[in-house]
Structure 1
């Protein structure tokens, strides 16, 4: 509650720029919750200090730029980035091992899931950069898709709960659970879509093979 009130106070005085800068440093691993920052931005819009739709855009820009900075640090400096104390603090040996395990389990989809893993988000993006698993375009596609779910959700939650901070915090906690449920459902839908496309492709290939076998002349 105290952090939310402080952020609201800062944002009402400095508006979009403050929201953008706080989100930027959130992306760099500073322990300020991104969801609370976005909610605070939404609250300032609900109180009439800013436009909520513009705030969503500012939130997207701050989130994606912060994430991209982490990715590019990994891409340009590789493991030598660990010489910087703040990077070494974020990417501990234990976190490196945990991130590698998660990459083996989820593949590049981990870059989408990372949006919902606050403690591991920055290490995941840095490691993804130095491992060169994906291009910058694919990184932004995966990370941006996740941000399109989370950023508007938190900003509009703050906007509609601007006049009742106590209830708002309760909604924040429920919203965190709701986002996880939504994420799981989205992953299930995507996996089903991939499975169905592969199955259809296999059936089509089988039919074409049967047709070729029945009509040998068509081979020529």
Structure 2
């Protein structure tokens, strides 16, 4: 069943990007960032395939993806800010947000602070929901947008690049993405550890 849904989604995603080009990438990534789990693992590699075909440019699709992420994250941020937890707990299930996802995003935000917005954008699953706790915590909007944009730009560029390199075989990436997630997650964890240690060292110096 889930395979069917993904196949249908993939078909729709491909149609949207083929028709609207960069605008389609912005739109889809906005939906993905507004806590509706559209797979960016299909959106961006397909965009990369179109780069391979010469229809779009790599930086163009990466930028479009990142802009989409910012656009989609802003409503989620405000939902967190004004509706907060009760709203999410009540309606979250309609957009497939589980309490578990929320707790994960929350805990990450509390533990690592604002840099998690950047790192969260590089983590599958977390990236879709990370805007909520930022809104609940009333994080500085400009920093929120900057972190979201930079983190998303890296994510979108990498996925589009991989799609471009694979060219005609971009659909066979699905298998790799599973492993790719593991690599990304490990990289993000390493970054977090480094960041936290650096942070602690700086704090020691100040005291």
TM range, smaller chain: 0.7 to 0.9
Q: Which residue of 2 aligns with 1:143?
A: 148
The TM-score, its normalising length taken from structure 2, stands at: 0.77
Q: Which digits, 9 at most, give the CA deviation of each residue in 1:67-126, with x for residues without a partner?
A: 122112322444574598468755655555444433343333332332244444444322
- What residue ranges of structure 2 are gaps of 5+ in the alignment? 1-5
SS of 1:111's partner is: helix
Q: Distance in 1 between matches of 2:101 and 2:190?
A: 27
- What residue ranges of structure 1 are gaps of 5+ in the alignment? 206-220
Q: What pairs up with 1:1-220 in 2 under 5 angstroms?
A: 2=7, 3-4=9-10, 7-79=13-85, 81-82=87-88, 85=91, 93=99, 95-132=101-138, 134-165=139-170, 167-198=172-203, 201=205
Alignment RMSD (CA, Å): 3.2
* Number of equivalent positions: 201
* Aligned 8 A contact 2:109 2:134 in 1: no
The TM-score, its normalising length taken from structure 1, stands at: 0.73
Task: Describe the shift of the 1:166–1:22 C-alpha distance in structure 2 as closer, same or farther (beyond 3 A).
Answer: closer
Task: Describe the shift of the 1:187–1:124 C-alpha distance in structure 2 as closer, same or farther (beyond 3 A).
Answer: closer
Q: Distance in 2 between matches of 1:85 and 1:185?
A: 34
Task: Describe the shift of the 1:198–1:59 C-alpha distance in structure 2 as closer, same or farther (beyond 3 A).
Answer: same
- How far does residue 149 in structure 1 lie from its aligned partner after superposition? 2.5
